């Protein structure tokens, strides 16, 4: 009667909920709760970043050369690295990649510490000037909130995956005030194969998070974009060319980041990685102050139609090696475009925590600006708006880097209020996506998992196989025999078995071979042979052996190659565990497929 702990309370609530609230209604309530919590987490992260930034630097701008530019980011990644290594004691980098891995290999389970650890680490990193974004960490935070709320209320696997999607959608909607972008991000980037019934919870989380963000920070868009130069259909060819350019820059960004991360990974000592990352980051920010922080203030300047190149040069180049040379603005931007990926990678690899949303938007804005400015210099008669093209470039690069054209389109429209630019935004995003897909079939988030065969996709068959686990289809009711057992003893074992297959094991439990009932049927009733024949004489080698850690697509490939109906399974130490049969796999496959497809 005195059970007042969490588990009894939750059990009583579960009983009450079953009788009073339907399953679909309860999921909507949970999605509402997830939307509220993720929005509050996004607001808290923004507040912490601003608080740390002002406390550390006194609010100096990116156009000022200041010794703090050299010190603050280094301190940030060092403190963040210590926090991750000694407090969190877990890898919290590559937030979206971790979500994809949790969906495909962890049954939607994300560790509880991810509800706060990424938030704290990224606030330190970005607040001190790390050249990364806050969006991937908050997406991981939101997904962890969704996952752990689902686990708290003991929701089934499919609902757990949906709540992770709700957390991601709410995080995007909350931090960007972009509810539609939050929804399409889940469909495109997380690649959840949602039914129509699943879209409503996602919308509830997105709209809830965006609404709270609007209430807390006002209804203004994140970037102020004045549509005073309407898009002309005459400029469609230039927009298409910009899409190709953004696709190539996206390829450069993804490939370079992947290679530089691989280089950093060769240094096992975290302090060595910190030292290298600190030197690279500090030097790049000193040379190009625009690389300091997320870069959103620079984006604001570049899409401001009231800022001409001369005014932009005065603000951004003042105090740098390019200062006083207005005609060096494009060269400066070219260097910044090429170096941003190194600054971002050095931030994360050196010990910091941050995402690539902000770097993608930053590089896309510069790419669009550069493309339009160079085009106008080469062809003075071309009537295009440089500021509009900077806006288009943001959508193009985000679409190319994330392989998510819809996310790029809606996110930029909602970030800037540039809804009148939907047509060129769609053109740039689609062309950029198609261009990068020619060279790189996976996004920067999914390429690591795809290389390991651990990526959940919209391909239904592949997704079902990925969600199935070999350990769940192992059958252990096969009676084992030993190699020195004679035929008479073998017949005695057969009389007790319901199977026609018998594993032959040694004293350590390792599989020596198998005995198939069909292969001894012609001698098993000849009693005169009972003591003459032994198991080692008629046992056979299995056509293939499975490991308990084999993914299901590997298991199915071995079945296809051998034509077998049953294959033995061994643990990681090579000891026999049981058999996997095709019939068991087909039954499990059907159950998972029904679970994924059920409304």
Distances (CA, A) of 174 to 44, 47, 178, 404, 419: 11, 13, 7, 19, 19
Strand order in the sheet with 566-570: 474-475, 576-581, 566-570, 546-547
Instruction: Give buried/exposed letters for 349-384 (b at 16+ CB in 10 A, else e).
Output: bbbbbbbbbbbbbbbbbbbbbbbbbebbeeeeeeeb
CB count, 10 Å around CB of 414? 22
Check residue 558 and give its pLDDT.
85
pTM of the model: 0.76
- Interhelix angle for 157-176 vs 135-152, to 10°? 140
Report residue 44: phi and psi, to 5°.
-65, -40
Distances (CA, A) of 472 to 391, 402, 569: 50, 34, 12
Check residue 463 and give its pLDDT.
53
Task: Using CA atoms of 385, 386, 392, 396 in order, give the dihedral in degrees to the nearest 10.
Answer: 140
- Whether 183 contacts 206, CB under 8 Å: yes
Report the C-alpha gap between 92 and 526 in whole angstroms: 66
What do you get for the CA distance between the two ends of the chain, in Å? Answer: 39
Query: What SS3 state is found at 577?
Result: strand
- Whether 285 contacts 70, CB under 8 Å: yes
Query: What SS3 state is found at 503?
Result: strand
Q: Which of 93, 390, 109 is nearest to 229 (CA)?
A: 390
Residue 578: strand pairing partners: 569
Report the C-alpha gap between 422 and 324 in whole angstroms: 37
pLDDT digit string (tens) for the chain, length 599 residues: 344 444 567 667 666 776 678 778 888 999 999 999 999 999 999 999 999 988 877 645 544 445 667 788 899 999 999 999 999 988 887 777 778 777 766 777 888 999 999 999 999 999 998 899 888 899 999 999 999 998 888 788 778 888 999 999 999 999 999 999 999 998 888 766 666 677 899 999 999 999 999 999 988 888 887 777 778 888 899 999 999 999 999 999 999 998 998 899 888 898 999 999 999 999 998 888 889 888 898 998 888 766 777 778 777 877 677 766 657 888 999 999 999 999 999 999 998 898 888 999 999 999 999 999 999 888 888 888 888 899 999 999 999 998 889 999 999 989 888 788 889 999 999 999 999 999 988 777 776 655 555 445 444 445 555 556 777 788 888 888 888 888 888 888 888 888 888 888 888 888 888 888 877 777 777 777 777 788 887 888 888 888 888 877 788 888 888 888 888 888 888 888 888 887 777 777 666 655 555 54
- The DSSP secondary structure of 217-231, one letter per residue, reads H-SS-SS-----S--
Query: What SS3 state is found at 446?
Result: coil
569 contact partners, CB below 8 Å, separation of at least 6: 470, 474, 545, 546, 547, 548, 576, 577, 578, 579, 580
Alpha helices, DSSP H only, in 306-417? Answer: 309-317, 329-349, 357-378, 386-402, 405-416
- Whether 191 contacts 406, CB under 8 Å: no
Check residue 6 and give its pLDDT.
46
- Whether 393 contacts 364, CB under 8 Å: yes
- Whether 242 contacts 429, CB under 8 Å: no
Distances (CA, A) of 532 to 488, 495, 517: 9, 20, 18
Domains of the chain: 18-217 (1.10.3080.10), 233-462 (1.10.3080.10), 468-597 (3.10.580.10)
Report the C-alpha gap between 447 and 95 in whole angstroms: 14
Distances (CA, A) of 496 to 478, 492, 500, 514, 533: 10, 7, 11, 17, 20
Antiparallel, parallel or unpaired: β 511-516 and 566-570: unpaired
CB burial class (10 A; 0-12, 13-18, 19+) of residue 132? buried
């Amino acid at each position: 009667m005195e059970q007042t702990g969490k588990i009894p309370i939750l059990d009583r609530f579960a009983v009450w909920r079953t009788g009073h609230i339907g399953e679909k209604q309860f999921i909507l309530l949970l999605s509402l709760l997830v939307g509220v919590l993720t929005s509050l987490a996004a607001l808290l992260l923004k507040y912490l970043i601003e608080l740390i930034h002002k406390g550390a630097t006194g609010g100096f701008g990116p156009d000022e050369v200041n010794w703090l530019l050299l010190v603050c980011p280094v301190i940030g990644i060092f403190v963040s690295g210590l926090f991750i290594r000694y407090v969190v004691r877990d890898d919290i980098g590559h937030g979206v990649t971790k979500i994809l891995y949790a969906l495909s290999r962890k049954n939607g389970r994300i560790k509880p510490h991810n509800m706060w650890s990424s938030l704290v680490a990224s606030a330190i990193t970005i607040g001190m000037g790390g050249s990364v974004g806050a969006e991937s960490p908050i997406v991981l935070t939101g997904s962890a909130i969704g996952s752990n709320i689902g686990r708290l209320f003991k929701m089934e696997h499919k609902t757990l995956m949906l709540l992770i999607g709700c957390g991601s959608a709410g995080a995007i909607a909350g931090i960007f005030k972009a509810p539609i972008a939050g929804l399409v991000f889940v469909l495109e980037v997380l690649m959840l194969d949602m039914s129509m019934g699943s879209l409503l919870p996602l919308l509830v989380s997105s709209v809830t998070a965006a609404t709270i963000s609007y209430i807390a920070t006002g209804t203004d868009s994140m970037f102020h974009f004045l549509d005073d130069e309407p898009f002309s259909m005459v400029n469609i060819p230039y927009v298409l060319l910009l899409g190709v350019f953004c696709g190539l820059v996206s390829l450069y960004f993804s490939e370079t980041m992947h290679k530089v991360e691989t280089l950093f990974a060769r240094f096992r000592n975290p302090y060595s990685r910190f030292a290298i990352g600190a030197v690279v980051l500090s030097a790049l920010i000193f040379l190009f102050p625009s690389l300091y922080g997320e870069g959103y203030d620079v984006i604001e300047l570049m899409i401001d139609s009231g800022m001409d190149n001369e005014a932009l040069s005065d603000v951004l180049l003042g105090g740098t090696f390019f200062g006083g040379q207005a005609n060096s603005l494009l060269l400066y931007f070219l260097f910044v475009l090429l170096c941003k990926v190194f600054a971002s990678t050095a931030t994360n690899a050196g010990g910091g925590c941050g995402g690539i949303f902000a770097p993608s938007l930053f590089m896309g804005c510069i790419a669009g600006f550069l493309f339009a400015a160079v085009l106008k210099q080469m062809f003075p008669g071309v009537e295009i708006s440089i500021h509009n093209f900077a806006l288009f470039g943001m959508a193009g690069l985000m679409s190319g880097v994330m392989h998510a054209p819809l996310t790029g389109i809606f996110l930029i429209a909602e970030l800037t209020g540039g809804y009148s630019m939907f047509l060129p935004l769609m053109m740039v995003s689609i062309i950029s996506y198609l261009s990068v897909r020619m060279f790189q079939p996976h996004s920067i988030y999914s390429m690591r998992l795809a290389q390991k065969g651990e990526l959940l996709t919209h391909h239904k068959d592949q997704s079902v196989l990925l969600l199935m686990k070999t350990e769940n289809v192992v059958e252990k009711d096969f009676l084992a025999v030993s190699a020195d057992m004679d035929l008479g003893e073998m017949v005695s074992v057969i009389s007790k078995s319901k199977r026609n297959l018998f594993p032959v094991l040694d004293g350590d439990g390792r599989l020596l071979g198998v005995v198939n009932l069909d292969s001894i049927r012609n001698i098993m009733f000849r009693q005169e042979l009972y003591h003459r024949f032994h198991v080692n004489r008629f046992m056979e080698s299995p056509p293939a052996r499975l490991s308990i850690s084999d993914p299901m697509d590997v298991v199915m490939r071995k079945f296809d190659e051998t034509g077998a109906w049953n294959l033995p399974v061994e643990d990681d130490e090579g000891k026999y565990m049981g058999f996997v049969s095709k019939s068991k796999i087909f039954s499990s496959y059907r159950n998972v497929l029904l679970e994924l497809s059920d409304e």
